[in-house]
Amino acid sequence: MSEAVKAAWTKLEALAKPALQTLFADPARLDTLSARLELPGGAIRFDWSKTHLDGAHIAAFEELAEAVQFKARRGAMFAGEAINVTEGRAVEHTALRGVGRDTSVEEAGALHARMRSLVQAIHGGALGEVKHLIHIGIGGSALGPALAIDALARDGAVVDVHVVSNIDGCALEAAFARCDPATTLIAIASKTFTTTETMTNAHSALTWLGEHGVEDPYGRVVALTAYPDKAVEWGVDETRVLPFPESVGGRYSLWSSIGFPIALALGWDEFAEFLDGAAAMDLHFQETDGAANLPLRAAFADLFYTRLKGCQTRAVFAYDERLGLFPDYLQQLEMESNGKSVKADGSPVDGPTAPITWGGVGTDAQHAVFQLLHQGTNLVPVDFIASIAPGDALDPAHHRNLLANCFAQGAALMAGKAAKDPARAYPGDRPSATILCDDLTPGTLGALIAFHEHRTFANGVLLEVNSFDQFGVELGKEIAKAIEAGNTTFDPSTEALLAEAGIK
């Protein structure tokens, strides 16, 4: 840790930390800590006023950002430099949205044109009647498409998409049960085209097609990969291989050909708006400095609670059924990116890094976990996400009640309530932030996801970790392969479990 970074953290730790109600004595607080960002497809309001950030902390966090050379690191990412230092790679998911190194943006445009042509050809009947797509991937190759399709395709998809990630055969069989083999395509999404779970599911899907009368199962496959030669070698015709750059990590890949099922379900115009919404957030993040930069401001609040208040978790509640998968998506984005114990230079970290991200859907969560949030001993910062426009055509009372509950929870967490009976007392002074969309459209969803990508990157820079490797997922997979090979001895507990299950 440099002396400048150490000094910034020392200053932050020494600052007074007033209660939220005290902070709201400042009449300018709401204007200072909330902002409305106009985007393709609608606007989003970001309100961080119910967090404990104040002017002194914001100024000190800005000093920290300067000490870790945040501007330079942000610039390096957009310039396509190899900021993923442990793997020697650039990080270029923003180029897929048209913001980044010129050559990378040009390459992304060509790859999108290839994908658009295939999507439009399928919609036009070039592969016969297509009613269903089974999209097979795992991690970022599945979570992004599943989120976007669940959020945006509920009013009727052009093609019915089923996302399968788990190697548990029950997941694949459930998709088979909903699809007619004669009108089904299979998308295989794997960066390396070697992922064990994905390729096992892919083989089973082709077997299913063949057993149900499809004469050429490989002719029904679309491959989404950074290694197109491996897909062709596996048996997919080159015309149905959609590549994406190796510089795009799995959890950042839904903007690439991994987004093929989104475009197939929604249509290309909607997918283009999805990209445009993300690009608008990219430009805001790239061009705005200090706490006015919304993802950076969110990172300031995140580090206030993890580093200065010792919070081990962060909760996200979507008060919109269409965003039910959003907490799951953020779990991978945030915990795989910043769940590190060493810095980018290989030295040990000097404090907590990523909190445990968890959450659910309102109002269901109110009747499950909010007891702990309001009266428990754990301090948990909360993000509420909602849309002003409803996603349904029912009596408006439904949506009014939903939004009323969303806003009430944030107010209650902050205000609390005194009572003579301690079991009925609410301590209050509990933080929350609210992200309120005008409407949930492809553009606003794209911006919402990009906001959290940049928030995650900003946290990583301030923590001095590399947000773009994920070696922590490898060891368990290596041991699983050793179990399959059957030539390795493990600890007594694992040996007993293997024997009990009949695996060894």
Catalytic residue among 107, 273, 336, 453: 336
Q: Active site residue: 367, 420, 474, 478, which one?
A: 367
47: helix, strand or coil: strand
Q: Could you tell me which of 223, 230, 258, 265 has the C-alpha nearest to residue 141?
A: 258
Dihedral (Cα; 68, 70, 75, 80), 10-degree rounding: 60
Q: Where do runs of H (alpha helix) occur along 124-195? A: 140-152, 169-177
The DSSP output letter for 96 is: G
CB 164 within 8 A of CB 171: yes
Q: Is 477 a catalytic residue?
A: yes
CA dihedral 471, 65, 97, 191 (to 10 degrees): 0
- Cβ-proximal residues to 474 (8 Å cutoff; 6+ apart), any chain: none
**CB within 8 A of 85, min separation 6: which ones?**
344, 466
In terms of Cα–Cα distance, which of 435, 418, 416, 301 is closest to 21?
416
| Annotation says 87 is catalytic | no
For residue 320, give the nearest of 160, 445, 212 by alpha carbon.
445
63 is catalytic: no
Residue 368: other Cβ atoms inside 10 A: 11
Strands 382-387 and 221-225 turn out to be: unpaired
| CA distance readout (Å), 416 to 114, 137, 274, 312, 373 | 55, 44, 39, 22, 11
Cα-based torsion angle of the residue sequence 52, 54, 56, 62 in order, rounded to the nearest 10 degrees: 90
Cα–Cα distance for residue pair 92/248, rounded to 1 Å: 6
Which residue among the candidates 6, 17, 71, 477 is catalytic per the annotation? 477
* Eight-state DSSP code of residue 502: T
Active-site amino acid positions: 336, 367, 477
